[in-house]
Structure 1
Amino acid sequence: MIRIAISYPKTKNNNPTEQFDMDYYRERHMALVEINYLPHGLIRWELDIPQIGLGEPPVFAIGYLYFTNLQEMKNAFKQAGSIVLADIINFTNVTPIIVVSEITIMGGSHE
């Protein structure tokens, strides 16, 4: 299984020019992701919305996209990636960090 993690980092000095519209991200951007990537192999998506616990979170949010394999992920990005990526400017001026990983071991409950 392939997981893409897209994180939106905060600068260490909490730059006031950084903008992130959580409502838009959660409600509109992720709907756009789903509409465009589901037909091309997206299995599911998740969002992490950091909470203040042990200090200020270093990111605004982290999104996760899951695909069966690397080829499906590449196909989804080829077919619809430009639409999804073009929407980023509608909710943030932060450059996301994108990491593509292969999930090889999972523990815990397997529902």
Structure 2
Amino acid sequence: MDSFKFSPKSKKVLMLLVILALTPFAPELLLFMDVAGVEVAFTCLLIMIKPMKLWIECQIVKIKEFSRMMILAVKQHPVSDARVFAGHYFAFSLTFVITSSLFVSSSIWLPILVMGRYIA
């Protein structure tokens, strides 16, 4: 187990590397490091980890909930229905062949995409 012990200088270097890696997310660590030293800055970093972890977990839950709602909205959207999709695709293709204009042919998709279930 003696091979796993670090010298005090290597501990400071390791703490400094960790602080420098996390400085973009917590710039106040530079002030602590300048005024009080690497050890105090690392201690403050350890104190700050729990609120950061809770904030990140909260954001992950929000992202998962938003993703679930978006998937549900896409599944319930009228364009997901095969009849609506086939009809609009046929009309889009026909208009594109006749007019050769992507802008004009896209206007067929626009009402159903904007209004959603209120049209279909």
The answer to whether TM tops 0.5 is no
Pick the structure with more helix per residue. Answer: 2
Pick the structure with more strand per residue. Answer: 1
Task: Report the TM-score when normalising by structure 2.
Answer: 0.27
Task: Report the TM-score when normalising by structure 1.
Answer: 0.29
Query: Highest CA radius of gyration, 1 or 2?
Result: 2
Q: Which of the pair has the greater relative contact order for Cα pairs under 8 Å at 6+ separation?
A: 1
